[in-house]
A and B are shown apart, each in its own frame.
Chain A
């Protein structure tokens, strides 16, 4: 069903919830080199979708296309049925790299407050409604305990939460995160993943997380968009993350090993794609 053609949203039988984002046939090239080819998928309300692919596969480019920051050679992106408009805060964005200097005179709650109206001219006038929205966002990401602390002194995981709060405070329909787990310690990774899962479930937001390694996201991931060589396949994890599918995507043989609930995608060594492989579990060393 999925092997060679790009995923057609109309074909999806499990049509739960409303479509929030539809990407159709998007292609992008730099200096003649195709970075994305005919990428299509949809994101739905309340679902966590992982954008998984090796480094350099075009994940950040795809996110920039969705944000309207990157021009496409072909294809379209539509949000909640309407055309994409950067001014409307329908998309919350948490970038991969951000540097919050230690001495920045901003508290965590100030950064979150900027998410409400940071793009509008003028000075923010204090209002009860504003404070309330900010408090809600802080509570949603579990940042109440350090809301009043200088944002530059927070740990990586705490800063990540603040940025998620910043993205959420304007009540977006879609939350994009570019490699949010890349620089976090394992404990923080689990916390952030849990948080993102609850954000999707409790607030009905479509969450799109890019990562080069999918295992951390498995507990909360509903669907996956797997991207390699500029092409993408989307669907449920058990449909997409299969040897045949990924081999077709990569263009060379790839093994998918499942071990104790974790998934390993391993480049194969030129074996026929049709073979099934027995997985031998070695006993732990004494």
Chain B
């Protein structure tokens, strides 16, 4: 068996404890990101989803500065950003765009400040880059496991509200007429997303956090219009991309430049893009004629 798989899985892949953790964490994040991502794409709030990843970066560097556990930084910052977005008016389609942008601008400015203070105080160069481009192999396992479990908790909180959330995402007016508190649901969804993204950002990095949130969900929604099917498909795609990415990253240890390995983020992102484009091919074969604008 090992001979057969040798070309794909380099020596020591299945034995490495770092790989075990990575596979588990990757899967958990993928499971959380799938359903949350589906709602994000339906609601057209991909910008907000990405913003929360950058917000998490800021929260993390702020926590570093205060010497507090990063998780608090992520959570507090996430909730603060959500509230700010809500106040500015994230419900209207165009207003949402500007609101997210203003909040993100302020938050990233803070990130700049925190990282600057951090580097001048503790002279750790490269801190900003590490936080931004952090990879799945370079985390404190205990923190990461706690974070992943919290992510599952967020999911458990969101799923019961599934019907209300779906209705208000697809047709806000109709939901309001049925007594759904649209604005409250929107706020709760945003808060849940910020937590989920924050938690995924610290486990697998800000880049992957956005990629796993948006990519698989968008791909799934191109393949099916039914929400539950889309969520399951999104999870499947996310897990596939993550695990395959981990395998390739491990293998790349032996690719040039030998001994360093390419980052997981790179592989996973490329795979997610590939899946997205492939789903487009399938769609175009089914509907060749131009639809109405």
Q: Which residues of A contact B (CB under 8 A)?
A: 29-31, 60-61, 64, 69-71, 99, 101-103
Contact = CB atoms under 8 A, between A and B. Distances in A.
B114 to A, nearest CB: 32
B95 interface: yes
B292 A61 contact: yes
B1 interface: no
19 contacts: A29-B289, A30-B289, A30-B290, A30-B291, A31-B287, A31-B289, A60-B292, A64-B292, A69-B293, A70-B290, A71-B290, A99-B93, A101-B92, A101-B93, A101-B94, A101-B95, A102-B95, A103-B95, A103-B98
Contacts of A71: 290
B292 A103 contact: no
B98 to A, nearest CB: 8
Contacts, number: 24
Contacts of B293: 64, 69
Interface of B: 92-95, 98, 287-293
B282 to A, nearest CB: 16
Contacts of A30: 289-291
Nearest to B288: A31
Sorted nearest first, the 4 A-B pairs with minimum C-beta distance are A101-B94, A30-B289, A31-B289, A60-B292
Among B94, B290, B291, the most chain A Cβ lie within 10 Å of the Cβ of: B94
Nearest to A104: B94
A102 B292 contact: no
A245 to B, nearest CB: 28
Contacts of B291: 30
A31 B285 CA distance: 11
Given A31-B288, A60-B292, 20 more contacts: A29-B289, A30-B289, A30-B290, A30-B291, A31-B287, A31-B289, A61-B292, A64-B292, A64-B293, A69-B293, A70-B290, A71-B290, A99-B93, A101-B92, A101-B94, A102-B92, A102-B95, A103-B94, A103-B95, A103-B98
B286 to A, nearest CB: 9
A64 B293 CA distance: 10
A110 to B, nearest CB: 17
A86 to B, nearest CB: 15
B73 to A, nearest CB: 33
Contacts of B289: 29-31
A229 B98 CA distance: 44
Contacts of B93: 99, 101
A69 B292 CA distance: 10
Nearest to A35: B292
A99 B98 CA distance: 16
